[in-house]
Structure 1
Amino acid sequence: MRPRHPRDVLVGYDGSDNARLALQEAIFIAQTSNARMTVVSVVPDVAATINAVWLAGGDPAQLSREMRIEVAATLEEAIEQIPEDVPVTKVLGQGHAGPVLVEQIDRIGCDLVVVGTRGRGAMRALLLGSVTEYLVRHSSVPVVVVPPPERLRDDLA
């Protein structure tokens, strides 16, 4: 069976070094496969944080607005890195990143997911990041996991 070329590559982007590497890999795959890209950034659920902010006398609604603005700016940062010859869809999600990304795979019809993973200490070196692990377990399409950059890999030894 010949491998298929992806038609729409989804990448989750949070602005981290690992997400930047995953984005670059997704761009490469999309360009070489003549595929579309879907970039998803997720505003996290902040219910517990909002309670703490409220108890400290802060404004939970303001915190929520600020988080949404920050994540939207991160998404725009990713979009700016994608060459003009690659068609792209951007999605600003809300909730837990893993389930939001899986939902987008099915909703948009992506056929490949590219994500980064982060380096961890020796005790947890065998574990992927929680979002990456969720995707590997729940995605209906192949998941490409991009390893951390060399400067973050030292703690994996």
Structure 2
Amino acid sequence: MSEHHTITTGSSPEQVGLALLTTAHNIREEVDRHMISATGISLSRTKVLQALAAHGTVHQARLADILGQAPRSVTQAVESLERLGLIDRTGNAEDRRRKTVSLTTTGRTALAAAERAGEHVLRQIFGSLAPQQLTDLETLLTLINPPRSHTG
């Protein structure tokens, strides 16, 4: 994260909002880059594994709903993770289009490694903040975090 944006006193809500969006994007890219480098699994693929770890075996359409993503996007992620042996995908005897997805033992191990890699880079990024700064940042983020809208 080489780009730093300075917010000056008197900045408008739009300027602060854009700075936050830029910062969030840069942090996400850094976490993703680090996770891929350390484990070969991206942040978005890790989120699929986390959903399966939390919800167990689910139908692929339900997984898309849990993730708040389009079914087509989830299908691509599932196919990729299946090729890596991180998840199992089985068909339904009555409806061949309906697939059930579950996490493999290898997938659980990979998920743990990916989470450690993500946590490591987040500690690097946020570790320089004093405890009170972390608390203040968390409070501010909670105040402005809009509720997640579910579509689909």
Identify the TM-score tier after normalising by the shorter chain.
under 0.3
Higher strand share: 1
Higher helix share: 2
- Provide the TM-score with structure 2 as the length reference: 0.28
Greater relative contact order, per chain length (Cα 8 Å cut-off, separation 6+): 1
- Provide the TM-score with structure 1 as the length reference: 0.27
